[in-house]
Structure 1
Amino acid sequence: MAPNIPIHQTIGFRIFLAILLFSIIVTGLTTSLSIRRQYITNKQQIISHMEHVKKSILPSLSNNVWVGDRIQINLILDGITHLPDIDHAILQTRDKVLIAQAGALYSENNITRTFPLIYSYNWQEIDLGTITISASYDKIFAELRQKTYYALLEDGIKILFAGVFIFLIFHLLVTRHLKTMGDHVRNLDILNSKPLTLTRSGFKAGRIDELDDVVNAINEMHSNLAGAYLEIEQINIMLQEDIGKRQEAENKAVAAMEDWERTFNTFDDIVTIMDNTLVIQRVNKAACRMFGAEPEDLIGRHCYELFRGESKPCEKCPGIPAIYFSKSQVAEIEHKHLNKIFLISASPILDDSGELTGIVHTAKDITEHKLLEKQYIQAMKMESIGRLTGGIAHDFNNLLTAILGYCELAIGNTQDNTEMRRYLEVILNSAERAATLTRQLLAFSRKQPIMKKVVNLGILVNNMKMMLQRLIQENISLSIDCPISEMNIEADPGQVEQILMNLCVNARDAMPTGGTITIQTALFTADEDFAAWNEGLQPGAYVILQVIDTGMGMTREIQNKIFEPFFTTKDLGHGTGLGLATVYGIVKQHNGYISVESTPGRGTTFTVFFPISLADTPVAEDKKEEFFVPGKETILVVEDDPTIRTLIADSLQPKGFNVLGASGGSEAMDLARKYKGEIDVLLIDVIMPDMNGPEVAEQLRLIRPEAKTLFMSGYTDDIIEQYGILHPDVQFIQKPLIFKLLMSKIQEIMLQKNPIN
């Protein structure tokens, strides 16, 4: 349907307005020029009249003024004012004294001319005064306004009729045909419409004009469109078939892409696709999770920037050889910022022609695997040392027992201040150091026999203050902050003391110029997050022991090695490298955990975590101190090593003991049956060739139920505990035997009222 166009929006009306506006502007300009010319003409006429007065009337007026004829003066002035356009004339002396005037001034907008009155007398010119003549512009303007009004009215009527005529002619010749063409095009049916024809007036006389050209163009376009439409219909049919095939192919491609995307994002490993310059083009979700970023934050970055945090390719970069050789490459890369280790695989992407187009880059987080591997290697080290130590511990402890024992006996039988005594003391000191070294190796490998009981860690540390003060140098201050409330742990007190002494010695050696050692105990609860950050620590409640120094501190590399056996930063001959390794082993034997925090130049903090014990510490009985004075007590020693049997006899007999020796269970039972007197103590080796210690003790109790039992062994705890010897109520002494400790142990069991045999 053709739109109903308002008349003011038609082309004809706009042409009419344009002609009207143009005509108004032209008429305005021409009228303005005409009025200006009329104004100038009228003004020139007034000036001309004033000049006429000057030339024709002033001589007569001068004579009348000279003779003083006022009547004639007034007549002349009145005649001047009756001239065309002259309104006023005034005659004055040179001193501005009024002589006469005629007419009146009706406006302030005037043309004024002043002429002097000169009278010639005896060849002299006498100045009689001045005459001023005025003419008003108002008459000129009134006449000009009237002429302008009539001119504009006349021209306006002409313009209006001309514009209406042009509008009608344009409508007749153009506008109505344009509407016909618009209706035809608007209602055009490409296949069924008739050609466009216009109804033209007869005076056209067969001439072809612009409208005919447009009609022919429209009809030609119609014909072309009809042909093109039929062709398009045929093409559409073909396209529909092709589109169906393409749609099916696209659906398959989309499904394949979705499957690829799902597979790409299913990998737990980081997968990235890079170009030939190692710039990341695509990343999977695992990469986004690992780096805590969106894909757009990772795409466009170099792989070495992402995985290594560096500005250039890694030394072991697998991507570069993969590009160069077009073969898959593998390497381990450490990301220092993430504190992770990745197993990187780089595989080339080749097009159909074999040209390299990019790299598939996979990164598997093997941090935990490497940590487990490191822990496994460490465990294997410990196991190797443990096996080595355990394998020689028994024989070595027996040898040390003989050396220590006979050195003590020899020193006891040697006079003071002799060369022989000094030699023996050197041998004894060296043997004691060898025994200490053996205990440290056993402690590190967690094979040192321990006797656990409930102890208060705060009380234990406070009781060691004097001993620790003697252990450190005078230029080091010792601060102990150890509350005793709820500080119970289940531990071997001697081993805990060993931990504290070793840590204090380590702190002392870190402060050669002095400083402060602070020892603290506190309660601590390790949640799952804290335990996750500290491998090997289980969630739960702990009593922690902290040793803090203000020494030189350690680098990260040294911290990673300090618990390894035989590792030391001291000069050769100034340390065995077993101090902290021993601490580590003891802590592990107590199911604890140890951590270290250190900054070079700012000191070190060791923190030991002991599982808290809810049991109460045993309350010491308030009793009088008892003393055991050896008399003729009999001790039956069951030991397969004859040297040890002889040493024990040589050590105890001078103290008043009667010592019976047996090399095994059978011989011991024979002695027990045959000996007529009482047997007070059974000193039995745990492991012997024919019968083990507990079996021998069980048989001997049947024969000598009154005898008290003391076991001894040089084997490690993993072997001894199989025989139930490490029970808190079972009396046991570890080889190498120290004579003073042996006497103390015998005194202890002799004073017990109801010992467990």
Structure 2
Amino acid sequence: MTRLFRSQQPMGLVVQALCLCGAGALAAWALGQPGPPSPAALAAAPLGALLLGCGLAALAAGSAGRRDAERSLRESEALYRRAIAAAGAVVYQLDFSTESYTHVDAGIHQLTGVPASDFTHQRWDQLLHSVTMQGAAHGLPEEEAERRFRTGELPVWQADYQIQTPDGRIRWLTDSSVAIRNARGEVVGTLGILQDITGRKEAEASLADRENLLRTVIDSDPHAVTLISPELKLMQINRSGLELMEAGSVEEALARADGSLVAPGHRDAVRAVMDRALEGHPGEIEFEMVSLKGTRRTLEMQAVPLRDQSGTVTAVLTIARDVTEHRRLEAQLLHAQKMESIGRLAGGVAHDFNNLLTAILGYTELAASPVRDNPDAAAVLDAVRQAGERAAALTGQLLGFAQRQMAEPRVLDLNERLLEVDRLLRRIVGEDVEIVTLPCAEIWPVRIDPGQFEQVVVNLAVNARDAMPGGGKLTIRTECVTVDAEVAAWMPEFQAGDYVLLSVSDTGVGIAPEAMPHIFEPFFTTKKPGQGTGLGLSTCYGIVKRNGGHISASSVPGAGTTMRVWLPRAPDPAAAAPQPHPPAASGAETLLLVEDEPLVRDIAVRILTDSGYHVLHAGTGSEALVMALEHPGDIHMLVTDVVMPHMSGVQLAERFRDIRPEARVLFTSGYTDGAVLHGGSLGQDAAFLQKPYSAAALAGKVREVLDSPRDQAGPTGHMERNHPCPCELP
């Protein structure tokens, strides 16, 4: 056996290869242990060593005679060669001294496309494309691995080769070989086995492609996907998860991810969901997380258990969605709906109150006529009138905030309007904010609805107040500016012309640069939750744009903000002002008055009767239609409230016009949004009188409509309505 072991013949080297290829159990059996090798030894042996081991089967019988030993050797040699060939493997022997192959199996032709007779070291190099070291030499460059093998530092050579056969096919081979030593122990050659592993490599490449595809899909998922171990340690995370954690790399995420990422107050609930997932029960939860940089976010997370083939839970897959913005918008919507409800309530209260004020102011005015010569009585009634007018102004502000007023653009002096709104502003901003008003000396007129202008000023003042929680200075300035064609060319939002510029400046905290592009967007706010809807500036933007103007902002964080509103110059109010009504706006026409509020109906009847008109009156639309049908004479005008039960003023006017097509129509209301809610909308040419009204206003408006051209007095024209976004109530 020792002689065979040291032999340079192929079968002798088989024994040596068996020892050095990692088949220790087979080697021990071959060196004299009785009986066949155990199944465990066969299973543990590398394929190459197992095949080589087939050649030792005959030797294990221990033939007593030389002839029997030689016969057994030949038989085992034939057996191992058949086994090697059947496995598609090729045995080779390389002599390092001559760098030539002293033995190559004929199967090398099938593996490489080169016959064994033509197979040389140089021919092998021509086929070779790449070498990947395996085993103990894994990761080493080929040259360094070969040096160590030839010096005996590496007992076994293991490598994978990519080759191209002469007919152009790409194949993968694996090489397992052992060193051949001489009597002095020097490495003089190598004995190895080549096997075709092309199929395995293609399967590995296909698996790698599928893994890369899966990784790409997971990384492109907008949700955060993580894999959590049974010890609740982060094992894997996708790109969205890294962004959510604000981690710079996967390594940082794996190193720093722990329970602190879950906000206090949510940790027990999250742990309970994860524990149930580890027990095999999927779950979901919404919680707050804190990123590595301290950013708080609200997440919706699903936890799904992952099992191995035996059904044991080996990990938990979590899929988390950032719902922070969604929840913020939900809260804003709820707040906006609440503000809308408050606005409806305020509008309803103002409407009812306006009916009462109409009666109060009307009766006061009627009572004042007989006592003009009694200064004391006249003074008392005048005080009542002034109080009623102040109350009417308050209800007007309520309607303005509730967005229930008609838009009635007028030519205004903004300096005068600022003086009128000054008292309201001081109540809104509080005593810790100093208000400075700087009107220009000579201001141009502008055309805008007075209520809308006040709404813009109030909204800007409220924003300024909120930016100065510790108090500060609010400066309101007006200027006259001209935008020439050159400036308008590089500022497309402007048209060349004259503008009145309103500036509202504060000394507050300012606006962050990243927030500036969004400040006019609906629902965008930098205020804390519950302190604003994000609709104030968007309302200002809408009002200004609808009136042909422009609004902009400039800010320095920590130093304050200035909001600028440009409104186009209007024609001289003296040229456009309507002629005043004559003192006695009387007439003799027949009017049909429809008003569901008895107090208002009674005073309106008295006012119109005192003005000389013949007045028919009704409390409902149905009653009015009966009168319109049954009255034998002409009815020149219908004067109707807009908001009434069962039939709105608009519906009544449409049906009345079918009966009396030549009659004029005048609408009155203290709450004009009811025109839309109860059966249609007023047209912009429809005649309208806002409650509360005075006796002179009612009589004058009736006379004006009766005297107006026919195409301006119909009930079905289009009257301009105000439809901005709801504003923020102070």
TM-score (normalised: structure 2): 0.50
Query: Do structure 1's residue 685 and structure 2's residue 685 form an aligned pair?
Result: no
1:405 corresponds to which letter in structure 2? G
Taking structure 1 as reference, are residues 563 and 429 closer, same or farther at Cα in structure 2, changes over 3 Å only? farther
Aligned to 2:337: 380
Taking structure 1 as reference, are residues 291 and 727 closer, same or farther at Cα in structure 2, changes over 3 Å only? farther
Post-superposition CA distance 1:713-739 (Å, at most 9, x none)? 344336249877644433201234344
Higher helix share: 1
User: Is contact 1:672-1:703 (8 Å) kept?
Assistant: no
User: Is contact 1:637-1:661 (8 Å) kept?
Assistant: yes
Aligned to 2:208: 254
Post-superposition CA distance 1:187-222 (Å, at most 9, x none)? 498868xxxxxxxxxxxxxxxxxxxxxxxx975479
Aligned to 1:315: 265
Aligned to 1:646: 602
Query: Do structure 1's residue 406 and structure 2's residue 357 form an aligned pair?
Result: no
1:661 corresponds to which letter in structure 2? L
1: CA distance, partners of 2:562 / 2:339:
24
281, 285, 288: which is aligned to 1:330?
285
1:756 corresponds to which letter in structure 2? Q
Query: Do structure 1's residue 186 and structure 2's residue 144 form an aligned pair?
Result: no
1: CA distance, partners of 2:234 / 2:443:
59
Aligned to 1:660: 615
Q: 1:529-608 counterparts in 2 under 5 A? A: 546-550=503-507, 560-563=529-532
Taking structure 1 as reference, are residues 684 and 219 closer, same or farther at Cα in structure 2, changes over 3 Å only? closer
Question: How many aligned residue pairs are there?
Answer: 490
1:345 corresponds to which letter in structure 2? M
2:97 corresponds to which letter in structure 1? R
1: CA distance, partners of 2:387 / 2:558:
36
2: CA distance, partners of 1:359 / 1:522:
68
2: CA distance, partners of 1:462 / 1:651:
35
494, 498, 501: which is aligned to 2:451?
494
Taking structure 1 as reference, are residues 249 and 662 closer, same or farther at Cα in structure 2, changes over 3 Å only? same
1:292 to partner: Cα distance: 8.4
1:261 to partner: Cα distance: 0.9
1:628 corresponds to which letter in structure 2? P
Aligned to 1:467: 420
Taking structure 1 as reference, are residues 551 and 740 closer, same or farther at Cα in structure 2, changes over 3 Å only? farther
1: CA distance, partners of 2:556 / 2:99:
91
1:756 to partner: Cα distance: 1.4
2: CA distance, partners of 1:488 / 1:420:
36
User: Structure 2: any 5+ residue segments left out of the alignment?
Assistant: 1-94, 104-179, 482-491, 513-524, 714-730
2: CA distance, partners of 1:722 / 1:479:
45
User: Structure 1: any 5+ residue segments left out of the alignment?
Assistant: 1-183, 193-216, 524-538, 565-579
Aligned to 2:249: 295
RMSD: 5.9
Aligned to 2:162: none
2: CA distance, partners of 1:248 / 1:413:
111
Post-superposition CA distance 1:205-262 (Å, at most 9, x none)? xxxxxxxxxxxx9754799989x94xx54xx5xxx37x56754653454244223212
1:478 to partner: Cα distance: 0.9
Post-superposition CA distance 1:521-554 (Å, at most 9, x none)? 899xxxxxxxxxxxxxxx9779996533447999
Aligned to 1:13: none
649, 657, 661: which is aligned to 1:698?
657
Post-superposition CA distance 1:102-143 (Å, at most 9, x none)? xxxxxxxxxxxxxxxxxxxxxxxxxxxxxxxxxxxxxxxxxx
1:628 to partner: Cα distance: 0.6
User: Is contact 2:421-2:454 (8 Å) kept?
Assistant: no
1:646 to partner: Cα distance: 1.3
2: CA distance, partners of 1:511 / 1:340:
24
User: Is contact 1:630-1:657 (8 Å) kept?
Assistant: no
2:476 corresponds to which letter in structure 1? T
Query: Do structure 1's residue 669 and structure 2's residue 622 form an aligned pair?
Result: no
Q: 1:175-214 counterparts in 2 under 5 A? A: 186-187=97-98
User: Is contact 2:686-2:712 (8 Å) kept?
Assistant: yes
User: Is contact 1:515-1:550 (8 Å) kept?
Assistant: yes
432, 437, 440: which is aligned to 1:478?
437
1:517 to partner: Cα distance: 2.0
Aligned to 1:113: none
2: CA distance, partners of 1:292 / 1:405:
69
1: CA distance, partners of 2:258 / 2:388:
56
User: Is contact 1:443-1:582 (8 Å) kept?
Assistant: no
Taking structure 1 as reference, are residues 727 and 553 closer, same or farther at Cα in structure 2, changes over 3 Å only? same
3-state secondary structure, aligned to 1:634: coil
User: Is contact 2:475-2:506 (8 Å) kept?
Assistant: yes
User: Is contact 2:365-2:385 (8 Å) kept?
Assistant: no
Post-superposition CA distance 1:15-72 (Å, at most 9, x none)? xxxxxxxxxxxxxxxxxxxxxxxxxxxxxxxxxxxxxxxxxxxxxxxxxxxxxxxxxx
Query: Do structure 1's residue 366 and structure 2's residue 277 form an aligned pair?
Result: no
2: CA distance, partners of 1:361 / 1:650:
77
User: Is contact 1:697-1:709 (8 Å) kept?
Assistant: no
2: CA distance, partners of 1:324 / 1:354:
17
Taking structure 1 as reference, are residues 499 and 313 closer, same or farther at Cα in structure 2, changes over 3 Å only? closer
Taking structure 1 as reference, are residues 725 and 594 closer, same or farther at Cα in structure 2, changes over 3 Å only? same
Post-superposition CA distance 1:292-342 (Å, at most 9, x none)? 87635753453579xxxx888543246544454436442243669798844
TM-score (normalised: structure 1): 0.49
3-state secondary structure, aligned to 2:575: coil
Aligned to 1:735: 691
2:266 corresponds to which letter in structure 1? K
Structure (1 or 2) with the larger CA radius of gyration: 1
Q: 1:28-107 counterparts in 2 under 5 A? A: none
1:446 corresponds to which letter in structure 2? Q
1: CA distance, partners of 2:285 / 2:244:
20
Query: Do structure 1's residue 267 and structure 2's residue 217 form an aligned pair?
Result: no
1: CA distance, partners of 2:535 / 2:385:
27
1:662 corresponds to which letter in structure 2? H
3-state secondary structure, aligned to 2:712: coil
1:281 to partner: Cα distance: 4.8
2:408 corresponds to which letter in structure 1? M
Aligned to 1:100: none
User: Is contact 1:711-1:733 (8 Å) kept?
Assistant: yes
Post-superposition CA distance 1:592-624 (Å, at most 9, x none)? 79999999997676677x9x89x9869863789
Taking structure 1 as reference, are residues 718 and 652 closer, same or farther at Cα in structure 2, changes over 3 Å only? closer
Aligned to 1:630: 584
User: Is contact 1:389-1:441 (8 Å) kept?
Assistant: yes
2: CA distance, partners of 1:584 / 1:185:
86
Aligned residues with identical type, % of pairs: 27
237, 242, 247: which is aligned to 1:283?
237
Post-superposition CA distance 1:385-405 (Å, at most 9, x none)? 455566677655434433443
User: Is contact 2:510-2:556 (8 Å) kept?
Assistant: yes
Compare 258-267 and 503-512 and name the one that shifted more: 503-512
Aligned to 2:176: none
Taking structure 1 as reference, are residues 467 and 376 closer, same or farther at Cα in structure 2, changes over 3 Å only? closer
1: CA distance, partners of 2:379 / 2:320:
71
Taking structure 1 as reference, are residues 330 and 297 closer, same or farther at Cα in structure 2, changes over 3 Å only? same
Post-superposition CA distance 1:449-495 (Å, at most 9, x none)? 32357x7xxx653453443567677974212479989x988x53432
2:265 corresponds to which letter in structure 1? E
User: Is contact 1:342-1:363 (8 Å) kept?
Assistant: no
2:588 corresponds to which letter in structure 1? T
3-state secondary structure, aligned to 1:464: helix
